[in-house]
Amino acid sequence: MNYGFNVKYNKNKTNLQGHANVIFRVGTKVYQIKSNAIQSLYVQAAGCTPSSTCPNKATFQSKANLTEITDPLNPIGLGGNHTLVIAITDKGEPGSFDTISVTLYGSGGGALLFSSNWNGTATIEQPLGGGNLVVH
């Protein structure tokens, strides 16, 4: 799975802004999840410099579209109005211990369409394969 996202409040702290883009593979198929309306952002700042013993956490939820992009010249839309939930934990610099989870549910609170690390009942955060997450 590859991803990129940025979510924040505007300067007046009245509206959420941002985007999320997630690419994942299942067998030979390649899929893209793109957010189209950020709905909520929850930040749990520990009140200290983020570290493995004092992490900052964030969860955001968005409406999203799902597209099969195995052939980038012929994308296949797989519906919109799905619910995307991304949870992250910032455990400090340089990001070696940061964790993330990505879950996509079908429109209308429907079925599980994608989980980055499903344990049978929930998506569990897993360590990054590279990079750094920052929650502030």
In a domain, 6, yes or no: yes
Give the angle 11-3-40 at the CA atoms, nearest 5°.
40
Strands 29-44 vs 56-68: parallel, antiparallel or unpaired: antiparallel
In a domain, 43, yes or no: yes
**CB-count burial class (<10 Å; 0-12, 13-18, 19+) for 121:** exposed
Give the residue, 76 or 10, on which the prediction is more confident: 76
- Enumerate residues 6+ apart whose C-beta is below 8 A from 2: 22, 23, 24
Reported as a single tens digit per residue, the pLDDT across 61-71 is 999 999 999 99
In a domain, 26, yes or no: yes
In a domain, 9, yes or no: yes
The pLDDT value recorded for residue 14 is 86
**Boundaries of domain holding 107:** 2-127
In a domain, 17, yes or no: yes
The pLDDT value recorded for residue 61 is 95
Peptide bond into 72 cis (omega under 30): no
The pLDDT value recorded for residue 108 is 75
The pLDDT value recorded for residue 133 is 94
pLDDT classification of 46: cutoffs 50, 70, 90: confident
